[in-house]
Amino acid sequence: MRTAFALFLALAIPLLTAGQAVAEEDAMAWIGRIYTAGQKLSYSGVIVYQSGRRSETSRIVHVFAGDHELEKLESLDGSPRQVIRTRDQVRCYLPRQRTLIVDQAGSSRGFPSRLVASEASLSDHYRIVLGPVDRVAGLQAQQILLEPLDGLRYGLTLWADVDSGLLLKARMSDDAGEVVEQFSFTEVEIGGDIASGEFTSRFEGEQGWKVINARGSEVSGDGLGWRLAAEVPGFKMTSAVRRQLGDAHGEVVHMVFSDGLASMSVFIEPMPSASQKSLGATTSGPVNIFTRRLEDHLVTALGETPARAVQVLANAVEVVGR
């Protein structure tokens, strides 16, 4: 009897292992589809964002024009806001303040293009499995679950259009299963012609607007002046920019780190010795923040990640040459 049972295990375990490998492979293939669709499809629709009691509705229009993307995001409730992203810049219109903020197009992306890259390394930090086929915004949607393997990132559930791969819904949950935030299309049209005029703001040309140039200069290597003493597992730097805060305030260094799904930012700015800036951990909605003093600078790490992750990142920052 024991011999028969041992033989059964010897045959069954390789089959189970092979089945798990195929399932992970299929799930990773969906991650690749979502990444490609978010960049290279044309689509328009209405998105609802939810975090705690906060809810916000926006209209998005996205076009892949040859070798680059055009995108417009406009709030439909609350304080009016319009963001237009082109190949080399992002323009944010705030009509109540009559303010236009101009910045360079960075690597930080929002829903439904939240994947920074289709990275195989995601499986080193998430258990990725396929869920059932569901319905979102009237479309058949494949569910993909990403369960974190450490305490440095939240869990994610993604719903992708079965036909196109476009991300239709994304839910972020903490280790207790509570929803941190959620994005979802309530209506969406994939493909079709989108007029180029969609990407010209109706506020363009109005007089009396204050223009804030938030563009910085990209830097890398030792020229940055700062580095991490130890890497945060899975997170890689995707961009680093220096921005002037004005003659009286010096400059700020802004670094972005991502694991392909989650992202965190570090801001390093001068701080006078007499400053009473609060240090330590704070939160703002789904964003965790950790601030520390490093010599005569203030280091602030923030991201939609667990509090431990931003603290590890902030504490890893050091001056180059140390």
Under 8 Å between Cβ of 155 and 172: yes
Mean pLDDT for 156-176 is: 95
Angle at 225 between CA 224 and CA 230, to 5 degrees: 95
Pairing relationship of beta strands 68-75 and 167-173 according to DSSP bridges: unpaired
Nearest CA to 75 out of 54, 93, 98, 90 is that of: 93
Mean pLDDT for 156-175 is: 96
For the chain, give every domain's residue range.
Answer: 23-199, 216-319
Averaged pLDDT score across all residues of the chain: 85
Between residues 13 and 29, which one has the greater pLDDT? Answer: 29
- CB atoms under 10 Å from CB of 28, counted, come to 17
- Residue 176 scores a pLDDT above 70: yes
Arch. (CATH architecture) of 23-199: Clam (2.50)
Helix H or strand E encompassing 311: helix 307-316
Under 8 Å between Cβ of 240 and 254: yes
Q: Which amino acid, 173? A: S
Residue 22: which pLDDT band, with cuts at 50, 70 and 90?
very low
- Residue 137 scores a pLDDT above 60: yes
Residue 119: which pLDDT band, with cuts at 50, 70 and 90?
low
Longest dimension (CA), the chain: 88
Beta bridge partners of 94: 99
Return d(Cα 113, Cα 239) in angstroms, integer.
17
Mean pLDDT for 109-128 is: 78
Residue 197: which pLDDT band, with cuts at 50, 70 and 90?
confident
Residue 150: which pLDDT band, with cuts at 50, 70 and 90?
very high
pTM (two decimals)? 0.85
Question: How confident is the model over 285-298, as pLDDT tens digits?
Answer: 889 999 999 988 99
- Write phi, then psi, for 18 (nearest 5 degrees): -65, -40
Return d(Cα 196, Cα 51) in angstroms, integer.
33
Mean pLDDT for 1-8 is: 52
Classify domain 216-319 at the CATH class level: alpha beta
Question: How confident is the model over 215-257, as pLDDT tens digits?
Answer: 777 777 667 889 899 989 999 998 888 887 655 567 889 999 9
